[in-house]
Amino acid sequence: MDEVVRFFNEVLGISLVKIDHNFDKPEQKHYFFGDDKGQPGTLVTFFEISDLPGNTLGPGGMHHVAFWVQDEDALRAQIKHLNGMGIGHSEIIDRIYFKSLYFRGPEDLLIEFATDGPGFPEEESP
């Protein structure tokens, strides 16, 4: 978890706001990351499970974590930041409805920064 804390702090700029325990397994630590106040909507949490096998793609696995950024200029700023930290990444990918940037974090976690728009046309909304 030390690497996860460092990565979220230094690379993503997301603070560790609380360490608690897993209420289902009190021996496991529960880490909360978010803005400086830990406001709802900003939190990402992780359990520290030392004997868990590595993540594999497929049913029951996690593919990636996505974070919102305002626009393509914000994606370009993230590219500059990642380059400065020596972290490899994709180029900006046009997903038609939004644009994305991908890179790997601790334990090979795929991370995406995605823009807000232009969004889905109204006739395609769920």
> Is the confidence at residue 60, as pLDDT, over 90?
no
pLDDT digits (tens, 9 = 90+) for 9-35: 999 989 999 999 999 999 999 999 998
pLDDT at site 85: 96
- Sign of the Cα torsion 42, 87, 107, 25 reads negative
pLDDT at site 125: 57
- pTM attached to this predicted model: 0.83
3-class DSSP assignment, residue 111: strand
| 61-126 CATH choice from 3.30.1540.20, 3.20.10.10, 3.10.180.10, 3.40.50.11780 | 3.10.180.10
Structure tokens at 58: 């497929």
> Is the confidence at residue 37, as pLDDT, over 70?
yes
Computed on alpha carbons and rounded to an integer, the radius of gyration of the chain in Å comes to 16
Q: Where are the domains of the chain?
A: 1-50, 61-126
Provide mean pLDDT across the span 44-67.
80
Provide mean pLDDT across the span 108-112.
92
3-class DSSP assignment, residue 75: helix
pLDDT at site 126: 60
